[in-house]
Amino acid sequence: MKKRLFIYTTLIIFTGLLCFFAASVYITHTNNLNIAKYTVIETARICANLYNNDIDVSAFVKVGGDTRITIISPDGAVLADSRPLDVGAMENHLNRPEIQAALSDFPTAHIRYSDSLGVDFIYYALKVISGNSYVFIRAAIPVAKIDAYLFQSLPLLIMILCIVTLFCFAFSRGMIGRIIRPFGSVEQNLRLLSSGEYTPELASGSYDEIDAILKGIDEVAQVLLLSMTALREEKTKAEYILNNIGDGIFAVDVNKNITLINNAALDIFNVTPDIAGKNLNYLCFDKALGDAVDDCVHNEKATFFEMTHNGRIYIVTVKILPGTILTMVILSDVTDNRKNASQREEFFANASHELKTPLTAIKGFNELVALNNKDKNICKYIDSITRETDRMLTLIGDMLKLSELENTQDINPESVSLYKTANEVRGVLSAAIDEKAINFEIIGDAAVSAEPGHVYELMKNLIENAVRYNNQGGRVSVTIKRDRESVWLVISDDGIGIPTEEQTRIFERFYRVEKSRSQRNGGTGLGLSIAKHVCALHGWRLSLKSKPSVGTDVTVEVTQVRHIDKNPEI
């Protein structure tokens, strides 16, 4: 910048001086010309006044010196000339513009080329009456002579021009240096800003305006320094948290290049930090992960799936990092949870099996005792044992069903009519329906591809709840609707409903809103858990809408696309 500023300033000064010089030369030349014209006119007038008939014409014109005096007869013939010329051989001068001007009594000076002397002259002629006739007296000065002084002083002028130019160069150089110098130190200081080593800039003291600019830059730099320090601290904190988090986290840009990766993710994929900047393929070849990242990068679609890597099970979440174009991948290790869950399930199944056999025996013995007993007091106890063993057997039955559903790897689907299944359930629950005088209806029908036993369990548990948690004379309706994509099964009742805060928990196993009432009604706390597992196994969507004292709607959406989630609890 300094160099360019210097070149521009120099050029401007030089051009200015040159223009001034040229203007001076032009003005001097014009002045000289006017003076020369005036001299020629004066000389012609003096000569005209001095001229008379008796004069020796040739002696008269000799006084000319540099000034050329010519006497011309009325017919244009040259009578005499102050220059040593052969007047007899000279051309007729009547047509010369200065002679024509004199002839018309409006004499004017003319600059033109002299054929006789071969140079430019300023001519002026006067008509002088002499006796009965007249002559023209013409004075002329060579044009070259008028600028003789100018040309003589030109070298001196050019020298002065050069000295002034050099002086201006030196002055402008010094001045530009003084203006630029403070900016140089500001630049160096700003470079240090990124490393946080900025020191406040002091006023240069040379120019007020520059001091004001430096002060402004200094204030902005200090604000920047504070923001950068705060940002650096935030970054350190974020990096600390990211690197000490248990889940593996990494982010990729639109080209699937890794832009960020934490320590846990480095351990999961057994790579070093220099993986940052490389393509996702360098990190992992898993197709599901690659597809999910692709889908997120191109369609901003968030995905949640399970992945097994190096013998560990991960729940992988792929989603766009809000406010950025980065795709985040979070890997949560659920291997231990799964192990614990499967141990719990195993215990659950074993305990149920172990309890079922003695309970069945107790039930059998109790029935035998009931047959042979006539004592009314003992009958009371026998009824109590019958009720409790039935409840226990129902509970164990539900536990075994749940355990069986959890262990089901695949299903054998058949076409199942939802209407027929609902009707079958109505038959099984007819005693309870009649006892509460429930208005029961089944509307519509549709066939779904599913395992019949599972559909029966699903509908039995949902319809049983609708009857069980209903009021005397209540209404239960099973509505079956379909469109091109899905089938909807809606079980509605106008019973006691479920408080909003309980609605998210009722799908947990053994969770009951009111334990005593549920137990009294024969509930085990496993019905909705079984329903949830059936839906998860078939890839159906189960949802519930309920309002206390108004009723409950449970909806199962059966989609054509089947997706098996064997672990709906996670």
Residues that bind ligand ADP (CB under 6 A): 461, 465-466, 469, 493, 495-498, 506, 511-514, 518, 523-529, 552
Q: Which residue number, 101 or 513, has a Cβ lying nearer to ligand ADP?
A: 513
Q: Which residue number, 330 or 513, has a Cβ lying nearer to ligand ADP?
A: 513
- For residue 237, the tally of other CB atoms under 10 A from its CB is 10
Residue 242 CB, nearest approach to ligand ADP (Å): 41
Residue 491 CB, nearest approach to ligand ADP (Å): 8
Q: Which residue number, 139 or 513, has a Cβ lying nearer to ligand ADP?
A: 513
Give the residue ranges of DSSP H helices in 287-417.
287-299, 335-372, 376-407
Residue 477 CB, nearest approach to ligand ADP (Å): 12
Q: Which residue number, 352 or 518, has a Cβ lying nearer to ligand ADP?
A: 518
Of 136, 206, 203, 155, give the one whose Cα is nearest residue 178: 206
Q: Which residue number, 429 or 498, has a Cβ lying nearer to ligand ADP?
A: 498
Residue owning tokens 């799964």? 338
Q: Which residue number, 296 or 466, has a Cβ lying nearer to ligand ADP?
A: 466
Task: Measure CA 427 to chain center.
Answer: 65
Q: Which residue number, 403 or 529, has a Cβ lying nearer to ligand ADP?
A: 529
Residue 495 CB, nearest approach to ligand ADP (Å): 5
**Identity of residue 433:** I
Of 238, 281, 286, 292, give the one whose Cα is nearest residue 258: 281
Q: Percent helix, strand, coil in the chain (nearest 5)?
A: 55, 20, 25
Give the span between the Cα atoms of 314 and 285, in whole angstroms: 15
Residue 390 CB, nearest approach to ligand ADP (Å): 14
Residue 523 CB, nearest approach to ligand ADP (Å): 3
Residue 375 CB, nearest approach to ligand ADP (Å): 34
**Identity of residue 272:** T
Contact predicate 405/530, CB 8 Å: yes
Using CA atoms, how far residue 422 sits from 100, 347, 542, 556, in Å, is 136, 33, 17, 13
Q: Which residue number, 43 or 555, has a Cβ lying nearer to ligand ADP?
A: 555
Residue 505 CB, nearest approach to ligand ADP (Å): 9
Residue 409 CB, nearest approach to ligand ADP (Å): 24
Residue owning tokens 């200090």? 222
What is the DSSP secondary-structure string of 256-303?
Answer: -BEEEE-HHHHHHHT--GGGTTSBGGGT---HHHHHHHHHHHHH---E
Give the span between the Cα atoms of 566 and 536, in whole angstroms: 7
Q: Which residue number, 366 or 470, has a Cβ lying nearer to ligand ADP?
A: 470
Pairing of strands 303-309, 120-130: unpaired
Residue 502 CB, nearest approach to ligand ADP (Å): 7
Q: Which residue number, 132 or 549, has a Cβ lying nearer to ligand ADP?
A: 549
In this structure, the chain runs to a length of: 570
Widest CA span of the chain, in angstroms?
195
Residue 349 CB, nearest approach to ligand ADP (Å): 19
- C-alpha gyration radius of the chain: 59
Q: Which residue number, 67 or 389, has a Cβ lying nearer to ligand ADP?
A: 389
Lateral strand order in the sheet of 551-559: 439-443, 475-482, 486-493, 551-559, 541-547
